[in-house]
Amino acid sequence: MAGAALRRLMAEYKQLTLNPPEGILAGPVDEENFFEWEALITGPECTCFDGGVFPALVIFPADYPLSPPKMKFTCDMFHPNVYPDGRVCISILHAPGDDPTGYESRSERWSPVQSVEKILLSVVSLLAEPNDESPANVDAAKMWRENRAEFEKRAVKLVRSTLGLPPPC
């Protein structure tokens, strides 16, 4: 199975290098291991994450694309759908099939027709429009709902941090 996964990942990498989505760079950490990728995601324009460059790791299972990869930001991230340790919580990365909690439909969850590009574009969308109804970070979701100005201020600090700039005055 790992051979089929490797072929699929090599094809997806080739596609991403030939036609990269705007604001996203991604590829293997090491060309000897196509199952661990680095990604750089630029914060979406006209959002509180605008201008930031957010590094992440994407780890693929040996049975990819039958099972979804795992994704984790490697920088500080304060977002309703990102656990405090950086793990991304988004439907497209949840195992295929029925949601045990009944919150997500099958069509929202992982399926082998998904791709690295679709995952990364979904994460960009999530940065622009958090889902505060199913939070991975309850504090971030609460702040997003109840004190948007403070959330945006914290996001601006994150953006500046990703660029190596000091926090705003």
Banded pLDDT at 1 (limits 50, 70, 90):
low
Domain annotation for the chain: domains and CATH numbers: 4-163 (3.10.110.10)
pTM of the predicted protein model? 0.91
Cis geometry, peptide bond prior to residue 84 (ω within 30 degrees of 0): no
User: Residues near 165 by Cβ (< 8 Å), separated by ≥ 6?
Assistant: none
d(CA 2, CA 77): 32
Marked catalytic residue, from 46, 48, 75, 89: 89
Which element (helix H / strand E) includes 154? helix 148-162
Tell me whether residue 89 is one of the annotated catalytic residues: yes
Q: Convert the pLDDT of each residue in 70-97 to its tens digit.
A: 999 999 999 999 999 999 999 899 888 7
Q: DSSP assignment, residue 7?
A: H
Q: Convert the pLDDT of each residue in 139-148 to its tens digit.
A: 999 999 999 9
